[in-house]
């Protein structure tokens, strides 16, 4: 019987709901799946037929340790997504690389964690108000909304960054049309989710009051998201492309390739599609 590790974390060591559905689909195919925290003492990543990184959500603030762990997997052929691709995706500087390749991204300036540098970044983008967030981060950790005429707010934002950050505009579309997540397995489009923040907020995650619903996007939007996959340095087993889709406008927010929520529970066929994609890698 093939054995697969779904990599989790000490903070949440068990299967998350989406991954439990995928594990159940794999069990029907004769595969044993176990959750294994990446950072638990004694976690053994030898002898698995595949290692699928899924919910390593506590790496924020432990980036050096997480990077070292990814490097320890570098020469293994059975790690998904591949270690090199996850390392490429770990810093949000990858957005600049996508932008250089013609992918429409949110206007961004990368800054040092200082009020002066944040202000310069805002001036370069022509912003009076901006979102400031770390280049290493997730779930809104370290995020601030600042105004150019608020010195105290700029100081607080710089302190929350801890290290390198990024400046972006506050997008009204987040509240108007929400953020669309396109989920792909082995390059094949599976499903899309529309995520909207709570009224007056900008974070779409459910833990921040956001709401997520299934969405049937236009074919042109799916192709625009698929085009991002073509720009990646390595083809991913799974990918979530987050974008603003507003009529003919398509703009990338994130390309999530390490530990994205895949919203499998909102898409009836997704667990089987994911399981089949994993099974194809075992052959």
Q: Where are the alpha helices (DSSP H) in the chain?
A: 17-27, 63-72, 83-90, 94-100, 115-125, 151-161, 173-176, 219-230, 270-282
Q: Long-range contact list for 155-162, CB < 8 A, 24+ apart?
A: 155/115, 157/115, 157/118, 157/132, 158/113, 158/114, 158/115, 158/117, 158/118, 159/113, 160/132, 161/113, 161/132, 161/133, 161/134, 162/113, 162/134
36 forms beta bridges with: 7
Report domain extents, the chain. Answer: 3-90, 109-169, 173-262
In 3D, which of 72, 130, 70, 78 has the Cα closest to residue 278? 78
* pLDDT at site 136: 86
Question: Residue 63 class from Cβ within 10 Å (0-12 exposed, 13-18 middle, 19+ buried)?
Answer: middle
Distances (CA, A) of 183 to 84, 221, 281: 20, 12, 18
Homologous superfamily of the 109-169 domain (CATH): ATP-grasp fold, A domain (3.30.1490.20)
* pLDDT at site 207: 57
pLDDT tens over the chain, length 283 residues: 899 999 999 999 999 999 999 999 999 999 999 999 999 887 778 889 999 999 999 888 888 999 999 999 988 889 999 999 999 999 999 999 999 999 999 999 999 999 999 999 999 999 999 999 999 877 678 889 999 999 999 999 999 988 899 999 998 877 778 899 999 999 999 999 998 765 655 555 555 456 789 999 999 999 999 999 999 999 999 999 999 998 878 999 999 999 999 999 999 999 999 999 999 998 6
In angstroms, the CA 72 to CA 51 distance is: 13
108 within 8 A of 166, measured Cβ to Cβ: yes
Torsion of CA 126, 120, 96, 77, to 10 degrees: -140
* pLDDT at site 244: 93
Distances (CA, A) of 267 to 191, 192, 237: 7, 9, 18
* pLDDT at site 210: 60
Q: Report the alpha-carbon angle 33-39-44, nearest 5.
A: 50
CATH topology of domain 3-90: Rossmann fold (3.40.50)
In 3D, which of 239, 231, 229, 282 has the Cα closest to residue 259? 239
Q: Assess if CATH 3.30.499.10 describes domain 173-262.
A: no
């Amino acid at each position: 019987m093939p054995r697969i590790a779904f990599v989790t974390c000490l903070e949440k060591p068990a299967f998350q709901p989406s991954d439990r559905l995928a594990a159940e689909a794999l069990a029907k195919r004769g595969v044993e799946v176990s959750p294994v925290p990446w950072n638990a003492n004694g976690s053994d990543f030898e002898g698995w037929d595949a290692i699928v990184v899924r919910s390593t959500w506590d790496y924020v603030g432990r980036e050096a340790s997480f990077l070292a762990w990814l490097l320890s997997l570098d020469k293994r052929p059975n790690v998904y997504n591949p270690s090199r691709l996850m390392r490429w995706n770990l810093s949000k500087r990858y957005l600049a690389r996508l932008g250089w390749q013609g992918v429409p991204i949110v206007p961004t300036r990368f800054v040092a964690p200082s009020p002066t540098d944040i202000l310069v970044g805002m001036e370069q983008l022509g912003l009076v108000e901006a979102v400031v967030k770390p280049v290493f981060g997730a779930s809104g950790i370290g995020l601030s909304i600042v105004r150019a005429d608020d010195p105290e707010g700029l100081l607080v934002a710089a302190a929350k960054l801890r290290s390198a950050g990024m400046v972006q505009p506050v997008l009204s579309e987040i509240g108007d049309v929400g953020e669309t997540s396109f989920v792909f397995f082995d390059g094949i489009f599976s499903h899309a989710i529309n995520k909207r923040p709570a009224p007056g907020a900008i974070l779409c995650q459910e833990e921040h009051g956001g709401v997520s619903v299934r969405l049937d996007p236009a074919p042109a939007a799916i192709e625009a998201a698929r085009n991002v996959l073509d720009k990646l340095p390595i083809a991913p087993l799974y990918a979530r492309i987050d974008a603003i889709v507003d009529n003919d406008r398509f703009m990338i927010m994130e390309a999530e390739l390490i530990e994205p929520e895949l919203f499998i529970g909102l898409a009836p066929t997704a667990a089987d599609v994911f399981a089949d994609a994993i099974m194809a890698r075992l052959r």
